[in-house]
Copies of this chain bind each other. A is one copy, B any other.
Amino acid sequence: MVTIEECQDILDKKLASLNLPDKPENLYDPVRYMIELGGKRIRPSLVLMGCNVFADRIEDAINPAVAIEMFHNFTLMHDDIMDRSDLRRNKPTVHKKWNENIGILSGDAMMIKAYEFLTQCPAERMTDVVRIFNTTALEVCEGQQYDMDFEAIPAIEIREYLRMIELKTAVLLAASLKIGALIAGAPGEDADHLYAFGRNFGIGFQLQDDLLDVYGAPEQFGKQTGNDIVANKKTFLLLTALKLARGETFQELKQWMDRKDFDRGEKIRAITAIFNKLKIREITEGEITSYYDHARRSLIEVRCDAARKQPLLHFLKTMQDREK
């Protein structure tokens, strides 16, 4: 059985030797740049691990795994333009290093490349693989659209927020596992259990991100904490606080959110104090645990030797324990 680390290794090697075209440089250099920025390669690793649950041979899953990583990076390239982000992994984003037009068009090319790799899978699996990929790709766009829409709406429901992160983040993790399973020839029902595993893990994972922005140790989290608080980002924590706060606490929270001039540290401390009072940390941790437990139960449902599930179980535990 391959571990997540072995998958990451296989994929780093594969991604380093993709042989993308040289010209036009302004189209393909940004694609190379995004791929070389690195990252944990979690999604494509899940394709390989999903395949490995049902088959010893994972070679047929490598191109579809590359497709998933390409697609993910395409979404990052376009999201960075839409979110006006200047940095990604401490390096300039594509539209900053080149320009917006190049960011748009290289992103487009990267999505097409994703389909090119995806369709280099065994012909008899193609229909199912492409179908789940199409559905998922559209859902990721829907998630990004809801994320942008929500920024302009004063109040959103927690269930709407959870649906948004499910679409924006979780379904791609879920589909990665399912595509791997389908390539291994897994029965539809078992592929769907892996999908549920990925979906629940993905929501839990995103809620952890929300939590770590407030309660992570900056040196471990790898980035400054409190960014979401400063930006009034509608995270699970803030939405829960807005729902639970009453009277003076609610007024204080609203006032901090409305202030245009403030000291960054002071705002972070004040809102964190409100979160503490409302037990937001405990509530969020409970929610995360519940999603991780759900993921674990979905994996139990998969009909195969327990040993074949070990790498995914180990991966889930590592993710749940992460502090960054």
Contact = CB atoms under 8 A, between A and B. Distances in A.
A131 B116 CA distance: 7
Contacts of A111: 108, 111-112
B104 A141 contact: no
Nearest to A110: B141
A217 to B, nearest CB: 34
Of A82, A105, A109, A116, chain B has the most CB atoms within 10 Å of the CB of A105
A146 B109 CA distance: 13
A145 B105 CA distance: 7
A161 to B, nearest CB: 14
Contacts of A144: 105
Contact of A119 (B81, B112, B130): B130
B104 A81 contact: yes
A134 interface: yes
A149 interface: yes
A126 interface: yes
Of A81, A126, A145, chain B has the most CB atoms within 10 Å of the CB of A145
State the number of copies, please: 2
A104 B119 contact: no
A105 B78 contact: yes
Contact of A141 (B112, B115, B116, B141): B112
B149 A108 contact: no
B82 A104 contact: yes
Contacts of A149: 24, 26
A138 B112 CA distance: 7
B26 A105 contact: no
Contacts of A23: 142
Nearest to A111: B111
Interface of A: 23-24, 26-27, 78, 81-82, 101-102, 104-105, 107-109, 111-113, 115-116, 119, 123, 126-127, 130-131, 134, 137-138, 141-142, 144-146, 148-149
13 contacts: A24-B145, A78-B108, A105-B144, A108-B141, A109-B141, A111-B111, A111-B112, A112-B134, A112-B138, A113-B138, A115-B134, A119-B131, A130-B130
